[in-house]
Amino acid sequence: MKKSVISTLLAELEQLVQIEEESGVEFWLARDLQPMLGYANWQNFRKVVGDAMTACENSGNKSCDHFIEVSKMIALGKGGQREIEDFMLTRYACYLIAQNGDPAKDEIAFCQTYFAVQTRRQEIIEKRISEVERLRVRKKLTESEKLLSTQIYEKLGDDRSFGVIRSKGDQALFGGHTTQDMKSRLGVPENRPLADFLPTITIKAKDFANEITTFSISRDGLATEKAITNEHVKNNTDVRNLLAQRNIHPESLPPAEDLKKVERRLKSEAKKLPRRKSSE
């Protein structure tokens, strides 16, 4: 395909993109894409759209989330108007349409590549954001554990109690499984903390239980290991029950990538980014 054709198709495709006002989501209208993709007849193009909707459903996605049926009025040659069918298409919908189109058409071949790259790009962005969020949540858990540990030390005067109380809390959160049980289940190295291998939602659950326990110690004046342990076990049990209501069982979730590896990767990627020149 000639560079001039690629440039023309790219410019045309980017001119057709629209933004949904409320959500800020990009979309394309099927009637706008039809001539751009080399289809002179709507019925022929409508069949491609239908095939793409089927492919969407077969991939486990709801077609109504990506192919939103709309209608618009067009003027008739002799005056008056009539309503015609159209679709608002997400980037993924456009990708599926291109995949189900005639690859012999330059326009289809271009769009197959364009939307495949754009879809992959979005996946990469979403993955990176989730990794940054998991790191942020893990650091917050470290802070809540330090605060809880400090409070326990102030009340009980020894460094051992925090580890015992935290272990009992883990056992309540993980449905009777101890911290060591979970490390064995998830393949966590002996010298590494369990939290570095937990998914974001479980890290948040532990952090939330810590914060409630810290608050309760202060508010209720809890001053014995038994009282604080009972409180921490209750809070972890309550958080577990809340997750269970949504069919989320912390002990059954698969391990997440080692956060030390995630952090190293993000730092490495950051070093490769072009640096902003300081103003002279």
pLDDT number for residue 104: 80
What are the distances in angstroms from CA 137 to CA 58, 126, 198, 261, 269? 35, 16, 11, 16, 20
Give pLDDT, residue 152: 96
For residues 57 and 128, the answer to whether their CB atoms sit within 8 Å is: no
Residues 6+ apart with CB under 8 A from 197: 186, 187, 188, 255, 256, 257, 258, 259
Location of structure tokens 């110690």: 217
Q: Where are the domains of the chain?
A: 3-101, 129-269
Q: What pLDDT score does 275 carry?
A: 52
pLDDT in tens, the chain (280 residues): 567 767 777 777 778 888 877 777 788 899 999 988 888 899 999 999 999 999 999 989 899 989 999 987 777 767 677 888 899 998 889 889 988 888 788 888 888 888 778 777 767 777 888 999 999 999 999 999 999 999 999 999 988 999 999 999 999 999 999 999 999 999 999 999 999 999 999 999 999 999 999 999 999 999 999 999 999 999 999 999 999 999 999 999 999 999 999 999 888 877 765 554 444 3
What integer pLDDT is reported at residue 189 of this predicted model? 95
Backbone angles phi, psi at 174, to 5 degrees: -95, 25
Burial pattern 108-122, b for ≥16 Cβ within 10 A else e, equals bbbbbebbeebbeee
What residue has token string 């810290």?
Answer: 214
What pLDDT is recorded for position 233? 98
pLDDT at 2: 65
Other CB atoms within a 10 A radius of the CB of residue 212 amount to: 18
Radius of gyration of the chain (CA): 27
Phi and psi at residue 58, to the nearest 5°: -65, -25
